[in-house]
Amino acid sequence: MAEKKRRRGWVKWGVAVLLVLFLITMIYHQVKPLPEGVSRASEPVAISDDQIDFLFDLTYQGEDTEVNEMEIFQDVERSIREAREYVVMDFFLFNPYSNEDRQYPTITARLTAALLEQMEAYPDLNVVVITDEINTTYNGHPADHLDLLEEAGAEIVYTNLDALRDPNILYSTVYRMAFQWFGDSQNGWLPNPMAKSAPDITIRSYLRLLNVKANHRKVMVTENEGFVLSANPHDASGYHSNVGVRLDGPILADILEGEEAIARFSKGDEARFPDEEKLANLREEDSDGPMQIRYVTESKIEEAVIDGMDQAKAGETIWVGMFYLADRDIIHAIHRAAERGVFVKLILDPNTNAFGRDKSGLPNLPVTAELNTVNPDQIEIRWYEVGDEQYHPKLLYVEGERQVVVIGSGNYTARNMNDYNLEADVEVVATTETEFMNEVDGYFKRLWNNEEGTYTLAYEEIQTDLPIGKYLIYWLQKLTWTMTY
């Protein structure tokens, strides 16, 4: 009898110790210091119209057929082929995998070939490719194109996601305490959830995938110019509608410093990046234009977006083009703007399609159901008519006395805005008329008014009454942090 009591006592103590360890692990990986150089906002620098170009890809319905206006990766490929000193690129999705349901643009092969040809033609060209584990389905198989680049002399850096905070707090705590010790294996036997054409993977990759964290950036810098984009060089994403900017001037030094920070905590070779002298030379380039630009990452993106919205005045207009809208702080900023008499016009993806698979409409359907009833006189919503593609931009434009553009990789969700994912945007501010701001203005009005094509639909054409079940699932996912957005 005494022995049974003693065993029960040991079991209770064991459970108590595990619970304490679980809570300590969970809390620590929510509040632990971010790696040095993450969540940064650069000092504003002047930029002129000849140092910034607005880029976009559009898939839409023309008079008789689907139209694809694609310029982003044509420009990126051109930039690679003009590089002689260095190419530093950081892309979330960089692979050729698809569900083989249609013929996609061969973006991955084109960019890989351009890099290989440049390295062969210019042996001193320094190529650094930073990417996410998703391209090996979380260490489940090789990435052949990245292996080819590495064999040719490129520095390939897979981002150390373990150094980041955990958005999926319950599961990731179990993963850190138990599953991570299982290691990795590339002897796959399970179907790949990313795409039918991707190699099979093991249960270990599935266990790692469920942490749902990412280096979600989409940037590239050469000695000539840089790009900050919402687009991935991913074949199955090739027809998505996207936006971005091509940049020149001192801001490139800030982008390079941000990318070197990722290499540092991911055990990449920092010596492969431009040295301090080159960065100093970039910072000394002419910078006297009428606009101010900052490089903002992670939660500093949210701060820039909210500041832009909060400074909008009555009668001015906030435009948002967005794939995911769910961040409560940004939603509250939209509420405040509408209450002040600011017009808010949202162009959103309906979240009903992802690479040929049907989606539930989360988070945009429940979020817009809320916004549509808040202040319908001030807040208008249109859906992008997506077909088989996604409306994938992450773009804010404040049309007013103080014009603001925030553009890049960051969706308006907790995962993207609250220092979980790695994200990269630029904020551009102007108080006088500029060509860049006019281009962004024209983009939004073309889509809103369906000029030269059919791009957007009225709110009621996609959503009338939201089923209560979807709304409950949305809030349950938010409360338990189990959502993928």
Model confidence at 482: pLDDT above 70: no
**What number of CA atoms fall less than 13 Å from residue 450's CA on the CB side?**
13
**With contact defined as beta carbons under 8 Å apart, do 343 and 317 qualify?**
yes
At 353 the pLDDT is 73
Alpha-carbon dihedral 309, 385, 101, 134, rounded to 10 degrees: 10
CA-based max dimension of the chain:
86
pLDDT digits (tens, 9 = 90+) for 103-127: 999 999 999 999 999 999 999 999 9
pLDDT band (50, 70, 90) for residue 296: very high
At 232 the pLDDT is 98
DSSP 431: S
Among 154, 338, 392, 162, smallest CA distance to 266 is for 162
Where are the strands (E) in 376-485, listed by range?
379-384, 394-399, 403-408, 424-430, 456-458
Query: Distance between CA atoms of 243 and 231, rounded to whole angstroms?
Result: 7
Alpha carbon 480 to its chain centroid, in Å, reads 22
Neighbours of 418 (CB within 10 A): 16
Query: Distance between CA atoms of 404 and 337, rounded to whole angstroms?
Result: 15
At 364 the pLDDT is 92
Please state, in angstroms and as integers, the Cα–Cα distance from residue 307 to each residue in 302, 318, 329, following that order. Answer: 8, 12, 11
pLDDT digits (tens, 9 = 90+) for 421-431: 999 999 999 99
Query: Distance between CA atoms of 125 and 325, rounded to whole angstroms?
Result: 40
At 219 the pLDDT is 98
* Amino acid in the structure at residue 60: Y
Q: What share of the chain is helix, strand, coil (3-state, %, to 5)?
A: 40, 20, 40
Residue reference for tokens 């990766």: 73
The average pLDDT across 68-94 equals 98
**With contact defined as beta carbons under 8 Å apart, do 324 and 331 qualify?**
no
pLDDT digits (tens, 9 = 90+) for 170-214: 999 999 999 999 888 888 899 999 999 999 999 999 999 999 999
**With contact defined as beta carbons under 8 Å apart, do 23 and 40 qualify?**
no
Among 163, 182, 193, smallest CA distance to 39 is for 163
**With contact defined as beta carbons under 8 Å apart, do 195 and 355 qualify?**
yes
**With contact defined as beta carbons under 8 Å apart, do 390 and 241 qualify?**
yes
Q: Which of 182-191, 301-310, 324-333, 439-448 has the weakest average pLDDT?
A: 182-191
Query: Distance between CA atoms of 34 and 37, rounded to whole angstroms?
Result: 8
At 87 the pLDDT is 98
The average pLDDT across 4-29 equals 87
User: Looking at the DSSP assignment, which residues form a beta bridge with residue 247?
Assistant: 52, 226
**pTM, two decimal places:** 0.95
Write out the two tokens for 438.
């006019």
Pairing assessment for the beta strands 424-430 and 242-247 based on DSSP bridges: unpaired
At 62 the pLDDT is 86
Query: Distance between CA atoms of 400 and 313, rounded to whole angstroms?
Result: 8
- If DSSP codes are grouped into helix, strand and coil, which group holds residue 49? helix
Q: Which of 58-62, 119-123, 409-413 has the weakest average pLDDT?
A: 58-62
Q: Let me know the angle formed at the C-alpha of 56 by 52 and 59, rounded to the nearest 5 degrees.
A: 175
Domains of the chain listed by start with CATH number: 71-238+250-282 (3.30.870.10), 288-480 (3.30.870.10)
Model confidence at 481: pLDDT above 70: no
Task: State the average pLDDT for the chain.
Answer: 93
Cβ neighbours of residue 187 closer than 8 Å, sequence gap 6 or more = 202
The average pLDDT across 275-297 equals 93
Q: Between the ranges 348-352, 440-444, 476-480, where is the mean pLDDT highest?
A: 440-444
What whole-number percentage of the chain has pLDDT above 90? Answer: 83
DSSP 311: T
Please state, in angstroms and as integers, the Cα–Cα distance from residue 236 to each residue in 231, 233, 352, 461, following that order. Answer: 11, 9, 16, 27
* Amino acid in the structure at residue 186: Q
The average pLDDT across 52-65 equals 94
pLDDT band (50, 70, 90) for residue 337: very high
Model confidence at 468: pLDDT above 90: no
